[in-house]
Amino acid sequence: MKLLVLLLLLASSHSFPTEPTFAEQQTESRLRFAALDDVRLLANGLLQLGHSLRDFVQNTKNQINAIFQKLNIFDKSFYQLSVLASEIKEEEEELKKTTVILKTNNEEIKSLSLEINSKVEDIIKERNHLRSQVGSLEEKLSGLSQSLFSAEQIVEISTLKSSMSGCLADLPEDCGDVFSRGQKSSGLYAIKPHESQPFLVNCEFTEEGVFTVIQRRHDGSVDFDQSWEKYEDGFGDFSSEFWLGLKKIYAVARKGHSLLHFQIEDWRREMHFMLYQYILEDAASNYTIHVKLQSAESSSAVDEHTGFRFSTKDHNDGNHDSNCAQDYTGGWWFSICGDINLNGKCIQSRPRKKGVHWKPGRGTASFKASKISISHLTKPQTP
């Protein structure tokens, strides 16, 4: 019986659940509000993340657009560069063709210049020969004129002689005289200094003045290690390298009213200029020279160079026991052997003192090119 009562009690407890207490209800309500706050916080976070993602996407799109714009500009620039490169290549080809044409023309001009020089020299020689023939004929005919020629024939011979003498006498004395007669273009001209035979000279007319070029070096194409006779008469090519000749230099220099101009270029292509007052003596003194510096654009200028004779490998100047020209090549007015020599070999390597050099007292400097001119005190007027 007790067992039956116990089973009934257990059954009734399972069939009718008990009501939750007040405390349990409050706990459940708090949990429910806490979950709602978490959902709201999560929703706000997701919303902010969405805004950030939207801004990031927008910025990325703007950056991509900017990159595309720069790529377009680069493409245009590259295209323009390729077009410009193509044009430059075409111009380069045209320039090469023009260079070939100019080189060919230059060779033709050089050939014509040599031919003209040769013909002018031949004409001058022929004129001198005819003059000597007329002189000798005059002497031979002077005693026979009365018996063999009529008065009219004698007059004709005299007229022929006068015309030839007048033609020679009408030549200018130097490049200054050439310029004063109206010639304004640099080039070769026949001159006849006082008491001298006619000869050709290279006249230069520039804004700086009027010059007779007596020496030019620039590429070593002409051998300057020559004899005394060659240095007296002159050698080389007017269109390239040459030495005018001591006889001709003295003929031009003796007129006076001129300066000696030196222009030298070193192997770094730096130019040096020196202008000197000078006196050149005749052949009897081995063309002794006296120079005094007037102005210079060079640290290598020598202030004074007085009383030095010209010498060559076969003609000692008498200034030294040894022959400077034989030791260092080329003819020059040597003061100290190996000191100054613009007629040495065109070499850059050692021994430098056998080359074109000029730097007295402070170590020898080798030079690539040189030009010596007589500067006439007649300056061209600029238009």
Q: Specify the DSSP class assigned to residue 283.
A: G
- Alpha carbons 292 and 277: distance in angstroms, whole number: 5
Residue 70: its pLDDT value, please?
87
- Residue extent(s) of CATH 3.90.215.10 domains in the chain: 172-376
- Strand, helix or coil for residue 14: helix
Tell me the per-residue pLDDT of 335-374, one tens digit each, with 9 for 90 and over. Answer: 766 567 888 877 665 544 555 656 654 444 667 889 999 9
Residue 381: its pLDDT value, please?
46
Say what the alpha-carbon torsion angle 206, 202, 232, 345 is, to the nearest 10 degrees. Answer: 70
Residue 383: its pLDDT value, please?
39
b/e sequence 293-305, b meaning 16+ C-beta within 10 Å: eeebebebbbeeb
The alpha carbon of 178 is separated from its chain's Cα centroid by a whole number of angstroms, namely 29
Element (H, E) at 370: strand 367-376
Domain 172-376 has CATH 3.90.215.10: yes
- Strand, helix or coil for residue 223: coil
Q: Is the torsion defined by CA of 20, 21, 27, 29 positive or negative?
A: positive
Best CA proximity match to 374, nearest among 272, 258, 232, 222:
258
Residue 206: its pLDDT value, please?
92
pLDDT in tens, the chain (383 residues): 555 555 555 555 554 455 556 666 666 666 666 677 778 888 888 888 888 888 888 888 899 988 988 888 888 888 888 888 888 988 888 888 888 888 888 788 888 878 887 888 888 888 777 777 776 766 655 554 444 445 554 545 554 544 455 555 688 999 999 999 999 899 999 999 987 889 999 999 999 899 999 999 988 889 999 999 999 999 999 989 999 999 999 999 998 889 999 998 888 888 888 899 999 999 999 999 999 988 887 666 677 777 888 989 888 866 655 677 677 778 888 876 656 788 887 766 554 455 565 665 444 466 788 999 999 876 554 43
The alpha carbon of 294 is separated from its chain's Cα centroid by a whole number of angstroms, namely 26
The pTM of this model reads 0.58
What distance, in Å, lies between the first and last C-alpha atoms of the chain? 155
Residue 105: its pLDDT value, please?
83
- Strand, helix or coil for residue 77: helix
Percent of the chain residues past pLDDT 70, beyond the cut: 70
Best CA proximity match to 311, nearest among 322, 300, 303, 301:
322
Angle between helices 151-169 and 22-142 (to 10 degrees): 160
Phi, then psi, of 380 in degrees rounded to 5? -60, 145
**Number of residues that this document lists for the chain:** 383
Tell me the per-residue pLDDT of 253-282, one tens digit each, with 9 for 90 and over. Answer: 998 889 999 998 888 888 888 899 999 999
Say if residues 276 and 292 touch (Cβ distance below 8 Å).
yes
- Alpha carbons 198 and 192: distance in angstroms, whole number: 4
> For 101-219, where are the E strands, in sequence order?
187-191, 199-206, 209-217
